[in-house]
Amino acid sequence: MKKSIILILLFAVALSLLLLSGCDGSPVIPNINSGMDNTNSEDVNDENNNDASGSEDSEDTIKPVITGSRDPLPNPSGWNNTDVTVIFTCEDVGEDASGIVTNTVKGATVTTEGKDQSVTSTGECIDAAGNVADPVTVSGINIDKTPPVIVITLPGTGEYELNEIVTASWTATDNLSGVVSPSSGSINIDTSSAGTKTITLPAGTTYDKAGNLSFKVSKSYTIIDDNNDDDLIFTDKWDGLGMGIYYHNTGYIDMLLDNGFEYLRIDIPTYTNSTWLSQSKSAVQTAVTKGAKVIWGVSSNGTTITNSNWPNFRQAILDAAQWAQNNGVYEFQLGNEEEWHIDGTTMTANQIIQNLKSVATEVQKIFTNGKISYSCFPEFSQDWANAGKGDIDIIASNLYMGGNGNYSDYWKGLLDILINAFGVNNVYLTEFNVSWQSLTDYSTSEAEQAEAIFDMIEYIKNKGIKRAVYFCFRHDDYGVLKEDGTYRTLIWNEALLNSDTIRLAGINTRAETTSLY
């Protein structure tokens, strides 16, 4: 035990002497090689921008996405009967989306009728990383705004004996989406009493795949009592006779068509009057749907044409031509008496004639349903004869015997000018009547009014012209159809319906006076 204690003490003394003799008082720490270069103690990232933990910076490499939608959606048959608006949205996608910095993406509204129409996005969709979205197309847009057309067919001549058993038939057609059943049917005709009667199919008798309901359709027929000769009706109307109606006269369309007036000139609206233009278009659609051959266009009536505003009128003509093409118009009119609307300085008569001929060339490429025409102011007939009609198919005119108490045969000479220049196949009257002021200005006697109208029709026919449109826009001033729903019997029966063979008897010819018209 004592020896052990002594040895421990000796070792402690030796260790103390060693430290005092060979060290600076700091402990000595051995250098251990770990296999790493420790010359730089700062953290160093590798060439791939790895941080100390080894993770990489994020990067957006995915394109944004454009998504299209439409309103309203199609019906179960895949059709719309209203305008369709297509909207596009721009969205950045992916886990590392950097966010949209440019979004000018736009859609459009499809207003025209047609099948398999489409809209492709315009504008740009770009994210912060510079990725550009691909454009997107919404397709399969089917629009049909026009109701089916129903035609009632009467057996035979449309005249039947009292109590005869007669059945009429009807068929419906639709040129775009197609008719949904029923597309045809039959109607029992009432023959229980003599006279002129009407059969009617109510609105909504059928409809098309777009959901457009058919309009009300009527057809007149005659029941004859063999024991009463007064019930016999004989009419021999000139097939070329048309009727001019105002946009609010659509209630008369059925009656006019039933009596053989298939050419209907709907009022030619002013292009600057959006309300008038819209209402006139609605009347056109109604008449076309009912089977009329509609003559329609635009004018500058009420707006003085100058060199500076001509481009606006020109564009209005082109726009109206496209609408007419899309809506079944039979004949498109470039204008109506535009020579009367010029300022006479920056736009002369010769200039407006040349401008109309120029725009006609463009219209020919747009309107292919039928012919294009122009109604000149009568006093400029010779100007058109000198200039030629160019690509205008028909040069028409609005002719009256006179007005304001002055009446003569002057109108016949103006018509002859056009016929001599362009031929009977390229000329017709888009308006005619005895007076440009009112029927009563010509005469307060309806018999005299009827005889004068009859004489005009006979002269026009004998000249070889194929068509003339009777002016009756304003009911109580000009028209055979009056505001109260009645009509002027002598003008209707004797002058218009029977204008081919019936000569009025027992009526004194009205004395003519000198006219400057």
If you average pLDDT over residues 20-44, what whole number do you get? 41
If you average pLDDT over residues 443-461, what whole number do you get? 91
The range of the structural domain enclosing residue 211 comes to: 149-229
- Looking at residue 326, which CATH number applies to its domain? 3.20.20.80
**Rounded Cα–Cα distance for residues 348 and 216 (Å):** 48
Query: Strands 114-120, 137-143: parallel, antiparallel or unpaired by DSSP?
Result: antiparallel
Residue 14 lies in a domain: no
Residues contacting 378, CB < 8 A, separation 6+: 397, 398, 399, 411, 414
If you average pLDDT over residues 101-128, what whole number do you get? 96
Q: Cα 483 to the chain's mean position, in Å? A: 29
**Rounded Cα–Cα distance for residues 196 and 71 (Å):** 49
pLDDT of 54 strictly over 60: no
**Rounded Cα–Cα distance for residues 136 and 212 (Å):** 31
Residue 158 lies in a domain: yes
Residue 9 pLDDT: 52
Residue 30 lies in a domain: no
CA R_g for the chain: 43
Q: Cα 189 to the chain's mean position, in Å? A: 38
Structure tokens at 393: 């198919």
Question: Same domain for 282 and 322?
Answer: yes
Question: Same domain for 492 and 415?
Answer: yes
Residue 454 lies in a domain: yes
**Rounded Cα–Cα distance for residues 305 and 338 (Å):** 8
Structure tokens at 215: 């309009």
In three-state secondary structure terms, 127 is strand
Question: Same domain for 333 and 365?
Answer: yes
Question: Same domain for 261 and 370?
Answer: yes
Question: Same domain for 307 and 436?
Answer: yes
Q: Which of 295, 383, 292, 378 is nearest to 332 (CA)?
A: 295
Residue 329 φ then ψ, to 5°: -65, 140
- The domain total for the chain is 3
**Rounded Cα–Cα distance for residues 373 and 446 (Å):** 33
Residues contacting 119, CB < 8 A, separation 6+: 68, 86, 107, 108, 110, 137, 138, 141
Residue 130 pLDDT: 94
Mean pLDDT computed over every residue of the chain? 83
Question: Same domain for 122 and 206?
Answer: no
Question: Same domain for 353 and 455?
Answer: yes
pLDDT of 61 strictly over 90: yes
Question: Same domain for 370 and 427?
Answer: yes
Contact (CB, 8 A) for 241 and 496: yes
- Looking at residue 128, which CATH number applies to its domain? 2.60.40
Q: Which of 306, 292, 196 is nearest to 242 (CA)?
A: 292
Strands (E), 267-353: 293-297, 331-336
Contact (CB, 8 A) for 453 and 495: yes
More confident residue, 443 or 254: 443
Q: SS3 sequence, 225-260?
A: CCCCHHHCCCCCCCCCEEEEECCCCHHHHHHHHHCC
pLDDT in tens, 208-266: 999 999 999 888 888 887 654 443 333 567 889 999 988 777 777 888 888 888 999 99
Residue 337 pLDDT: 95
Cut 0.85: pTM above it: no
pLDDT in tens, 122-145: 999 999 999 999 999 999 999 999
Query: Strands 217-224, 137-143: parallel, antiparallel or unpaired by DSSP?
Result: unpaired
Specify which of 59-73, 182-196, 209-223 reaches the highest per-range mean pLDDT.
Answer: 59-73
Question: Could you tell me how many residues make up the chain?
Answer: 517
Instruction: Count other C-beta atoms under 10 Å from residue 443's C-beta.
Output: 17
Q: How many CA atoms lie within 13 A of 385 on its CB side?
A: 16
Question: Same domain for 476 and 408?
Answer: yes
More confident residue, 321 or 229: 321
Residues contacting 113, CB < 8 A, separation 6+: 143, 144, 145, 146, 176, 326, 327
Residues contacting 69, CB < 8 A, separation 6+: 86, 87, 88, 89, 138
